[in-house]
A and B are shown apart, each in its own frame.
Chain A
Amino acid sequence: ETGVTQSPTHLIKTRGQQVTLRCSSQSGHNTVSWYQQALGQGPQFIFQYYREEENGRGNFPPRFSGLQFPNYSSELNVNALELDDSALYLCASSMRVGEQFFGPGTRLTVL
């Protein structure tokens, strides 16, 4: 059984650019949630996908969007990057109801 994986590990972008982050969920998990963790803070919920549909969204603007694929892997897209988007982006997988298991994260730096 493989755990949650994320790619890339690190990413540097400039303000205004667009970025796509990827997540492969743990085997058997059909739900993926994305979180943003600013330095020194707890993770903040961005949105959740269940069976390819968005299933809840946190207080993030529409330029944060996502996808879930039939194999339950997921992408997080961020358009028009701002300096404040610099953070660790975490993906967590779970069954529809249950414990969430996090990946190692993608460190995004916006210059």
Chain B
Amino acid sequence: QQQVKQSPQSLIVQKGGISIINCAYENTAFDYFPWYQQFPGKGPALLIAIRPDVSEKKEGRFTISFNKSAKQFSLHIMDSQPGDSATYFCAASMKGPEKLVFGKGTKLTVNP
């Protein structure tokens, strides 16, 4: 019920390409869906987040697409750059103590 499933586990993209990471959830009580970026040896950094009342949110090169009926959401990174190489985590939380439930992460490598 609390699980968030993330795919793929790893992703290699050429510079300038589009990176797409997908997540699926089961618990319909989740109402907040953030994406975090983590570099080696660092804590996760909030990248972009969405609530289920909208189907898409864009910030710069980063876009979240949200499909409430399918219980899926995805991160699109346009014009991917080598500096985007990091591990990306999707997460979900619900009202109450807003504990984040994380996916297992996707290691993105952007080749120059």
Q: Total A-B residue pairs with C-beta atoms closer than 8 Å?
A: 59
Which chain B residues border A94 with CB–CB below 8 Å?
A: 98
Q: Does B45 contact A (CB under 8 A)?
A: yes
Those of B60-112 within 8 Å (CB) of chain A: 89, 91, 95-105
Give chain B residues whose Cβ lies under 8 Å from the Cβ of A103. 43
For residue A56, which residue of chain B has the nearest CB? B97
Which bucket holds chain B's interface residue count?
Answer: 20 to 34
Closest chain A residue to B98, Cβ basis: A97
Residue A102 at the chain B interface, CB threshold 8 Å = yes
Asked if B104 and A42 make an inter-chain contact with CB atoms under 8 angstroms apart, the answer reads yes
What is the minimal beta-carbon distance from B24 to any residue of chain A, in angstroms?
14
Q: Which residues of A contact B95 (CB under 8 A)?
A: 97
Chain A nearest CB: distance from B72 CB in Å? Answer: 17
- A99-B44 contact in complex given A42-B103, A94-B98, C-beta closer than 8 Å: no
14 pairs from A and B in contact (CB 8 Å cutoff): A33-B98, A40-B104, A40-B105, A42-B91, A42-B104, A55-B97, A56-B97, A58-B99, A100-B46, A100-B98, A102-B44, A104-B41, A104-B43, A105-B43
